């Protein structure tokens, strides 16, 4: 399943799709991330217009509209994957007491599988991960960023199987973002 991009969702919300069949079918399929995005866009548009454009010169309105649109696109570009498995939540289950934390995030037919494991230095951790996506996506060379709560930013790239490694990571919470062409996926690690 291919998710529509933000522009396609916005056109669907405004009922202005030029070729609606595929996007219309996807939006009507019940895809949770895309439906949430459509709802957010539906609710955000009138509020932004009213707040920004009342009693403002047309030139200023146009400029602000462009700035807001760019910001909305950058915030909405990533699908947010939901945490579906966390080994730390398995208290009392065999294997849950290990030092390695296993996490799985999913969004539709996309997944991020992560292992936070002890690093070579006391108190340090490494991140081993893999992106799972349908065959139509080329995962090799995808940009993987780890964004820490205190502004830390670490970056690497994925191999042809979507695998990646980042050493000396900050303590959770942090965010992992994968991007390659139209595929953009975000996981929030608690």
Task: Give the angle 102-104-108 at the CA atoms, nearest 5°.
Answer: 175
Question: Which CATH class for the 79-189 domain?
Answer: mainly beta
pLDDT digits (tens, 9 = 90+) for 63-115: 777 766 665 555 556 778 889 999 887 765 555 456 899 999 998 889 999 99
150 vs 128 pLDDT, higher one: 128
Average pLDDT over residues 3-19: 65
pLDDT digits (tens, 9 = 90+) for 20-77: 566 667 776 777 777 777 777 777 766 666 665 667 777 877 777 776 666 555 555 6
Q: What is the pLDDT of residue 34?
A: 74
Comparing C-alpha atoms, which of 166, 161, 88 is closest to residue 128?
A: 166
Average pLDDT over residues 110-130: 92
Question: Which residue ranges make up each domain of the chain?
Answer: 6-76, 79-189
Q: At residue 11, does pLDDT exceed 90?
A: no
Contact 174, 146 (CB under 8 A): yes
Q: What is the pLDDT of residue 38?
A: 74
Neighbours of 176 (CB within 10 A): 25
What pTM value is reported for the model?
0.59
């Amino acid at each position: 399943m291919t998710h529509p991009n933000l522009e396609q969702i916005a056109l669907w919300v405004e009922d202005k799709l030029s070729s609606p069949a595929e996007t219309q079918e996807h939006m009507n399929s019940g895809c949770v991330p895309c439906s949430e995005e459509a709802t957010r866009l539906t609710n955000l548009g009138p509020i932004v217009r009213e707040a920004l454009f009342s009693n403002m010169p047309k030139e200023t309105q146009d400029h602000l509209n462009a700035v807001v649109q760019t910001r909305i696109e950058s915030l909405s570009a990533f699908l947010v994957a939901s945490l579906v498995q966390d080994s730390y939540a398995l208290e009392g289950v065999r294997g849950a007491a290990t030092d390695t934390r296993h996490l799985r995030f999913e969004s539709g037919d996309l997944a991020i599988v992560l292992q936070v494991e002890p690093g070579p230095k006391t108190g340090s951790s490494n991140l081993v991960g893999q992106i799972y996506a349908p065959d139509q996506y080329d995962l090799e060379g995808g940009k993987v960023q780890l964004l820490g709560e205190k502004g830390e930013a670490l970056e690497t790239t994925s191999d042809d199987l979507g695998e990646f490694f980042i050493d000396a990571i900050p303590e959770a919470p942090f965010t992992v973002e994968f991007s390659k062409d139209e595929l953009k996926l975000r996981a929030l690690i608690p």
